[in-house]
C-alpha cells in the first residue's frame, strides 16, 4: 500500500474536524444569523451597539429540545477580545463558560447507514462584519451591516469522518432549524453558514493532526468541495515532509481552492472575561414547558399527515416532508390546485432530479410555488402535455420566467381540436400501410409507432389521450 493510500484511509476515518475558536476540540460549527420569532434583521450599520439584538429564549431552547441536549436554564455572556477589521470595537459578545445549550446529539444517514454525531454545545453570540475578498484587486473590503446581530453557533464533537458525513450533518441541522422556525436557512444570504476544520493523521497515530479552519462556507456543494481540496492539500504537504499550519482559511468557489487568511489564535489569546453589561439569561421550568407545548410540526408528523390528508405513497410523503421548503412548496401548490397526487409526482420526480443535478436546495432554485402550481394546472387542464411540461419546467428552472408566458411565447399550447388530430392521424395511417397490416395481424406494440408519428408531426403538442382514442378508432375500422 502506498503512503497516499494510507493517508486516504485515515481521512475517511478522521478526516473532517470542525472546531470552535474558543475551545480546541470540536468538529462542526454552524452559524445562524436570521431568526424567526424573537430578533430583528439588520438594517444598517448605524443600528449596531455593544449589545446583540434579542434572540428569544424560545428559539434557544427549541434548538435544545430537538437535539436531546442539556437544558442550561441559566446561561451567561462573556467578552472575547481580539482585533480584526470585521469587528472594529475590538471584542465580541459570546458565551464561553455557560452556553445556552449543552451537550446533545443528532442522527445523520449516509448511504443508508445511520450515525449519531454528538453536539458539544450551542451558544449565542454577536456576528462580525463580512470580509469581501473578490471585489477589489489586491485589497479586502469590509461590510459591517450584519455586525452586532445575533447568531446561534452549534458545535459538534470531532466525529465527522468525511465530506459526505459533513454535508449530511449540515443538512440535518438545516432541516432542524428551518422546521423549528429558528432560522430561514437561506445560505446564499448568509442566514446559515458553516466553519469547517480539517485535520488528517496516519494509521496508528494517537494525536489528531494540526487543523486548519475554513470559514463561512454557505452551500452544501461548497462544503464538500472545500473539504476535498483541503484534505488533498494537507496530504500533499505531509507527504513532502512539511508541517500543517494552524490557521484560518477561506474557500474560493470559483478557483475551487482554499487560501490562507490569518494565523489562528489559542483560547487564552482571546482573554475571555464575563460580559459586565449583560445579565444572566434565566429560563424558568414553566417557560420550558410552554416552549415544548408550542413546538411546530416536525418532518415525521408532516409525513404522516401528507399520507392521511393527500393519500400519498409513504415514499413520496417522506421525500416531501424531509425539507421544509419542499413541504411548503407542496402545500402551497396544493392550495392553488387540488391534484395533490400530480403535485407530489412532479416534486419527487422531475423537480428532485433537477435539484440533484445542480446540487442545490429548493430555496436556491428559481422555481416559485406560484409558478409550480401553474405548471400543474396547465397539465391538469390539458393546456400542455406532460412531455411539453418537462421542457417548460427546464426553462423555468433556468430563467424563473412565468409559466404562461413561456407557453405562449414558444407556442406550446396542446392541440386539442380533434378534427386537426384526426386529419394528422389519417395521414400517418395512410402513409404506413405495412405497419397497419402488421398491427392488424397482432403486432400490438406497433400502436406506439403510430402514436410517436403523430406526436412527431405535431412537435409533441398533441393531446396524448385524444391521439390514443383517435388512433384506436381509426385502426379498428381498417
pLDDT tens digits, one per residue of 260-281? 987 766 666 889 999 999 999 9
Give the mean pLDDT of 61-77. Answer: 71
Note the pLDDT of residue 7. Answer: 42
Cα 173 to Cα 168: distance, rounded to the nearest angstrom: 9
Note the pLDDT of residue 351. Answer: 94
Q: Among the ranges 13-22, 32-41, 303-312, which has the highest mean pLDDT value?
A: 303-312
- How crowded is residue 341: how many other Cβ atoms within 10 Å of its Cβ? 13
Note the pLDDT of residue 298. Answer: 84
Note the pLDDT of residue 380. Answer: 86
Q: Are 11 and 238 in contact (CB under 8 A)?
A: no
Which among 195, 193, 192 has a CA at the least distance from the CA of 184? 192
- How crowded is residue 121: how many other Cβ atoms within 10 Å of its Cβ? 23
Cα 121 to Cα 293: distance, rounded to the nearest angstrom: 23
Residue 342 confidence class, pLDDT cut points 50, 70, 90: very high
Residue 77 confidence class, pLDDT cut points 50, 70, 90: very high
Q: Which three cell numbers stand for residue 28?
A: 462542526
What percent of the chain shows pLDDT beyond 90?
23
Own/partner contacts of 425-429, CB < 8 Å, gap of 24 or more, are 425/450, 425/454, 425/467, 425/470, 425/471, 425/474, 426/474, 427/457, 428/453, 428/454, 428/457, 429/471, 429/474, 429/475, 429/478
Note the pLDDT of residue 11. Answer: 28
More confidently predicted of 250 and 413:
250
Cα-trace Rg, the chain = 28
Averaged pLDDT of the chain: 80
Q: Which three cell numbers stand for residue 219?
A: 452551500
Note the pLDDT of residue 264. Answer: 67
Amino acid at each position: 500500500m502506498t503512503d497516499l493510500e494510507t493517508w486516504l484511509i485515515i481521512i475517511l476515518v478522521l478526516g473532517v474536524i470542525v472546531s470552535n475558536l474558543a475551545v480546541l476540540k470540536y468538529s462542526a460549527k454552524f452559524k445562524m444569523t436570521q431568526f424567526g420569532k424573537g430578533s430583528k434583521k439588520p438594517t444598517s450599520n448605524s443600528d449596531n451597539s455593544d449589545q446583540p439584538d434579542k434572540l428569544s429564549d424560545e428559539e434557544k431552547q427549541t434548538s435544545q429540545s430537538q437535539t436531546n441536549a442539556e437544558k442550561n436554564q441559566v446561561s451567561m455572556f462573556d467578552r472575547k477580545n481580539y482585533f480584526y477589521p470585521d469587528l472594529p470595537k475590538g471584542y465580541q459578545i459570546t458565551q464561553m463558560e455557560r452556553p445556552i445549550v449543552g451537550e446533545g446529539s443528532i442522527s445523520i444517514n449516509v448511504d443508508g447507514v445511520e450515525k449519531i454525531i454528538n453536539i458539544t454545545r450551542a451558544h449565542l453570540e454577536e456576528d462580525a462584519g463580512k470580509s469581501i475578498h473578490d471585489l477589489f484587486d489586491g485589497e479586502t473590503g469590509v461590510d459591517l451591516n450584519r455586525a452586532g446581530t445575533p447568531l446561534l453557533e452549534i458545535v459538534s464533537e470531532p466525529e465527522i469522518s468525511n465530506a459526505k458525513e459533513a454535508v449530511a450533518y449540515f443538512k440535518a441541522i438545516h432541516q432542524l432549524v428551518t422546521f423549528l422556525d429558528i432560522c430561514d436557512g437561506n445560505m446564499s444570504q448568509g442566514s446559515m453558514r458553516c466553519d469547517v476544520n480539517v485535520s488528517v493523521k496516519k494509521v496508528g497515530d494517537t494525536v489528531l493532526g494540526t487543523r486548519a479552519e475554513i470559514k463561512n462556507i454557505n452551500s452544501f456543494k461548497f462544503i464538500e468541495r472545500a473539504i476535498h481540496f483541503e484534505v488533498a492539500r494537507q496530504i500533499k504537504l505531509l507527504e513532502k515532509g512539511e508541517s500543517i499550519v494552524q490557521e484560518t482559511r477561506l474557500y474560493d468557489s470559483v478557483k475551487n481552492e482554499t487560501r490562507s487568511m490569518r494565523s489562528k489564535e489559542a483560547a487564552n489569546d482571546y482573554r475571555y472575561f464575563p460580559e459586565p453589561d449583560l445579565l444572566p439569561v434565566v429560563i424558568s421550568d414553566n417557560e420550558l414547558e410552554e416552549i415544548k407545548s408550542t413546538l411546530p410540526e416536525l418532518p415525521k408528523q408532516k409525513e404522516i399527515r401528507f399520507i392521511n390528508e393527500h393519500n400519498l405513497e409513504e415514499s413520496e410523503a417522506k421525500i416531501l416532508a424531509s425539507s421544509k421548503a419542499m413541504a411548503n412548496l407542496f402545500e402551497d401548490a396544493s392550495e392553488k390546485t387540488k391534484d395533490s397526487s400530480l403535485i407530489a409526482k412532479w416534486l419527487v420526480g422531475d423537480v428532485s432530479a433537477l435539484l440533484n443535478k445542480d446540487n442545490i436546495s429548493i430555496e436556491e432554485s428559481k422555481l416559485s410555488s406560484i409558478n409550480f402550481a401553474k405548471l400543474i394546472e396547465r397539465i391538469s387542464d390539458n393546456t400542455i402535455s406532460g412531455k411539453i411540461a418537462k421542457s417548460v419546467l427546464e426553462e423555468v428552472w433556468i430563467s424563473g420566467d412565468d409559466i404562461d408566458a413561456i407557453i405562449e411565447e414558444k407556442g406550446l399550447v396542446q392541440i386539442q381540436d380533434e378534427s386537426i388530430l384526426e386529419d394528422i392521424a389519417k395521414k400517418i395511417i395512410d402513409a404506413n400501410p405495412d405497419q397497419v397490416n402488421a398491427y392488424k395481424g397482432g403486432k400490438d406494440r406497433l400502436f406506439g409507432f403510430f402514436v410517436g408519428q403523430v406526436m412527431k408531426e405535431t412537435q409533441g403538442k398533441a393531446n396524448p389521450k385524444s391521439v390514443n382514442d383517435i388512433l384506436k378508432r381509426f385502426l379498428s375500422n381498417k
